[in-house]
Amino acid sequence: MKKNKAMIVCFILPCLIALAAVYLYPVVRTVLMSFFAIDSVTADMSGWTFYGLGNYSRIFNSSTYRLAMWNMLRIWLVGGIFTLSFALLFAVILTSGIRFKKFFRAAIYLPNVISAVALATMWIQYIYNSDYGMLNRILGAFGLKGVKWLGTDMKFWAMLGAFIFGAVGYYMLIFISGIERIPQDLFEAATIDGANKVQQFVKITLPLLKGIIKTNITFWSVHTTAFFLWSKMFSPIGTESTTIVPVIYLYDTVFGSQGNAARDAGAGAAVGVTLAVIIVLIYAVMNGLLRDDDLEF
Amino acid sequence: MAKKEKVVYKEKVNWKKELSLLPGYIIVVVWIGFTAAFLLWIIGASLSTSREIFSGTVLKFESGIHFENYVSAWKSQNVSIFFANSLLYAVVACTGVILISAPAAYVLSRFEFLGNKVMKSGLIVAMSIPSVMIIMPIFSLTTRWNIRGRILLIVLYIFMNVPSTTVYLLNFFATLSKTYEEAAAIDGCPPAKAFWIIMLPLVQPAIVTVTIFNFLGVWNEFFMALIFASSEKMTPVGVGLLQIVNAMKYTGDYGGLFAAVVIVFMPTFLLYIFLSEKIIAGVTGGGIKG
């Protein structure tokens, strides 16, 4: 047993150090930072001055931050509806007895595997390009006028569209695994009783997918709070009001942005804590919802 | 026998059934056709001149195939440096994370000790902590201690993948029978040695799956690299590609840009072509972070 003790300690220690170094210590310090006035992120603790909830009231009074939150909300709601609807649609199609199911499934999931930076570059430089872009060519073939997809009016929706395209596959896989767990005899019995495909979907598939839908909404919400890369790619040099999201706001306030040398690590920490609280709330709400009727089948 | 049955079944196409599935086929084929069309165009553009790209004659290759785009992307746009960095980060981080996570997962799943449960929940909580909550203290600490360069990103990539990897491997160690260690102990093999030479090889399939995911994750990582890669010498492909895009205004080399895009996505794309079944099974089976 003594031998085991030494082994346990040796085996667990590196993992413990990793947890403490990149999770425990940074999280505690970030929470502390959000209550202090700190200019530079590298400032020593002795240079911090207690600020109470000042950072929070400052960010919530900042119109840029409110805009960032509003954009995040739009991404969550509009993007969520489209992504999860497409994902569910594809999941239902792929489990309906279609041929080449494995190939289709792999092809739809593909954008999740390739570098998102490369994917975003392809969308920006090709699909949305106003000179030779794919979308304007398609519009032109129908005799329609091209749209400036990357102009101020359309940029947000262009970004969201590209993001949805990349995200659908992941949620589709989760839906597929949920649908495949539903026993086939339920559908067979319904078919014998004369229910058509739509009725089967509404009366059998949807109710039994409640838990999976909940999981997907949770994942989508957490995914949205971390939204950064696509916004950075669509406004690579200077942050723009059309594409700003909270993580971009945090990045700019902590590390500085073009034409703005003022830095505020305290406010940045407050943004981080706000996002973390949102994630905790999402988990709490989702675990409270639908808890009682978790179906066993 | 089973094979023969399958062949017979395949020959019988139930046209009525296929017809009822037609709307489904159309939707899926349109979506995938769009994906295929633009991937094909990107590859075409990477072999064309900037003028051909702008005049919209990309897939005709009127002036021949321009492999020199790849040479210029690889050499003058620094893609070779970015590529080597990403490869180094991914390979070292994938190895390092297994060396830390596998022993920890084994001990956590096999032995009861004080703090076992706390640690398991800690790992699960850590998996859902957003990276914005950790970057600032890590940045200030590493600046003060003057830790930077490639080693910083490698350590970060290892440590940040420890929670999900450990949680994933935990379940696999839990399914192994205890008789293996008992037999080893009777033969006089110390428990630590039994782990490395008996238990670890038994979870090899799980290690392969989780390593694929870690590789994809590190290769495609962007946020940490943007903050912690302080010079071009240590920049991985994601941030490197962003720099190339930003420099486009001055270089105007669109062929080179698309060649860089292809070079960046090709490694994970090829990996996916060979391992898509395993990757897809891993997404839904293991509860890996997406």
Please provide the DSSP assignment of A147-160 as one string: --TTSTTTHHHHHH
Domain total for chain A? 1
| Cα A71 from Cα A157, distance rounded (Å) | 11
**DSSP single-letter state for residue B48:** S
Query: How much of chain A, in percent, has pLDDT values that exceed 90?
Result: 54
Q: Please report whether residue B265 resides in a domain.
A: no
Verify that B157 and B31 share a domain, yes or no: no
- What does pLDDT average to over chain B? 87
Confidence of residue A1 (pLDDT cuts 50, 70, 90): low
Confidence of residue A35 (pLDDT cuts 50, 70, 90): very high
- All residues of chain B having their beta carbon less than 8 Å from the beta carbon of residue A30 are 133-134, 136-137
Q: Please report whether residue A270 resides in a domain.
A: yes
Partnered with residue A187 across adjacent β-strands are none
Q: Which of B41, B71, B101 corresponds to the end of one domain?
A: B71
**Does the pLDDT at position A221 exceed 60?**
yes
Verify that B43 and B89 share a domain, yes or no: no
SS3 percent helix, strand, coil of chain B, rounded to 5, is 80, 0, 20
Q: By the CB < 8 Å criterion, does A91 face chain B?
A: no
Mean pLDDT of A249-254: 92
User: What's the confidence (pLDDT) of residue B220?
Assistant: 92
| CATH assignment of the domain containing A142 | 1.10.3720.10
User: What's the confidence (pLDDT) of residue A47?
Assistant: 81
| Cα A79 from Cα A164, distance rounded (Å) | 6
Q: Do B38 and A134 count as a contact with CB atoms less than 8 A apart? A: yes
The 10 Å Cβ neighbour count of residue A214 is 17
Q: What residue of A is the nearest CA neighbor of B193?
A: A7
Confidence of residue A236 (pLDDT cuts 50, 70, 90): confident
**Does the pLDDT at position B3 exceed 80?**
no
pLDDT 10s digits, B47-94: 888 888 877 777 777 777 888 889 888 888 889 999 999 999 999 999
Q: Please report whether residue A197 resides in a domain.
A: yes
Q: Please report whether residue A10 resides in a domain.
A: no
**DSSP single-letter state for residue A146:** P
Residue A187 structural domain: 34-288
**Does the pLDDT at position A244 exceed 60?**
yes
**Does the pLDDT at position A292 exceed 80?**
no
Domain total for chain B? 2
Q: Please report whether residue A4 resides in a domain.
A: no
**Does the pLDDT at position A261 exceed 70?**
no
Q: What residue of A is the nearest CA neighbor of B218?
A: A115
Q: Please report whether residue B121 resides in a domain.
A: yes
Residue B37 structural domain: 14-71
Verify that B54 and B194 share a domain, yes or no: no
The 10 Å Cβ neighbour count of residue A144 is 10
Confidence of residue B4 (pLDDT cuts 50, 70, 90): very low
Q: Please report whether residue A112 resides in a domain.
A: yes
Verify that B144 and B241 share a domain, yes or no: yes
Q: Select from A16, A22, A232, A277 the residue whose CB has the most chain B CBs within 10 Å, as the one to mutate to test that interface.
A: A22
| CATH assignment of the domain containing B183 | 1.10.3720.10
User: What's the confidence (pLDDT) of residue B1?
Assistant: 40
- Nearest-neighbour CA in chain B from A240: distance (Å): 15
User: What's the confidence (pLDDT) of residue B57?
Assistant: 72
Q: Select from B118, B140, B146, B246 the residue whose CB has the most chain A CBs within 10 Å, as the one to mutate to test that interface.
A: B140
Better pLDDT: B253 or B11: B253
- Nearest-neighbour CA in chain A from B1: distance (Å): 22
Q: Which of B71, B97, B120 corresponds to the end of one domain?
A: B71
Q: Please report whether residue A295 resides in a domain.
A: no
- Nearest-neighbour CA in chain B from A78: distance (Å): 20
Verify that B156 and B192 share a domain, yes or no: yes
Alpha-carbon separation of residue B281 from B215, B276, B286 (angstroms) = 16, 8, 8
What would the two tokens of residue A6 be? 């030494």
**Does the pLDDT at position B15 exceed 90?**
no
Verify that B61 and B136 share a domain, yes or no: no
Strand A36-37 relative to strand A49-50, pairing: antiparallel
Verify that B91 and B229 share a domain, yes or no: yes
Confidence of residue A3 (pLDDT cuts 50, 70, 90): low
What is the distance of C-alpha B128 from the center of its chain? 18
Verify that B39 and B114 share a domain, yes or no: no
**Does the pLDDT at position B224 exceed 70?**
yes
Verify that B202 and B86 share a domain, yes or no: yes
User: What's the confidence (pLDDT) of residue B11?
Assistant: 53
- All residues of chain A having their beta carbon less than 8 Å from the beta carbon of residue B59 are none
Verify that B62 and B93 share a domain, yes or no: no
Q: Please report whether residue A86 resides in a domain.
A: yes
**Does the pLDDT at position A240 exceed 90?**
no
Q: Please report whether residue B268 resides in a domain.
A: no
Q: What residue of A is the nearest CA neighbor of B166?
A: A15
Q: What residue of A is the nearest CA neighbor of B53?
A: A132
Determine contact, residues B137/A25, Cβ cutoff 8 Å. yes
Q: By the CB < 8 Å criterion, does A15 face chain B?
A: yes
Verify that B117 and B242 share a domain, yes or no: yes
- All residues of chain B having their beta carbon less than 8 Å from the beta carbon of residue A110 are 35, 269, 272
Confidence of residue B266 (pLDDT cuts 50, 70, 90): very high
**Does the pLDDT at position A212 exceed 60?**
yes
Confidence of residue B290 (pLDDT cuts 50, 70, 90): very low
Q: Measured at the alpha carbon of residue A76, what is the angle toward residues B221 and A283, in degrees to the nearest 5?
A: 80
Q: Please report whether residue A191 resides in a domain.
A: yes
Better pLDDT: B287 or A219: A219
Confidence of residue A111 (pLDDT cuts 50, 70, 90): very high
- What does pLDDT average to over chain A? 89
Angle formed by the axes of helices B116-127 and B79-110, nearest 10° = 150
User: What's the confidence (pLDDT) of residue A88?
Assistant: 95
Q: Please report whether residue B175 resides in a domain.
A: yes
Confidence of residue B288 (pLDDT cuts 50, 70, 90): very low
Q: What residue of A is the nearest CA neighbor of B215?
A: A113
Verify that B187 and B62 share a domain, yes or no: no
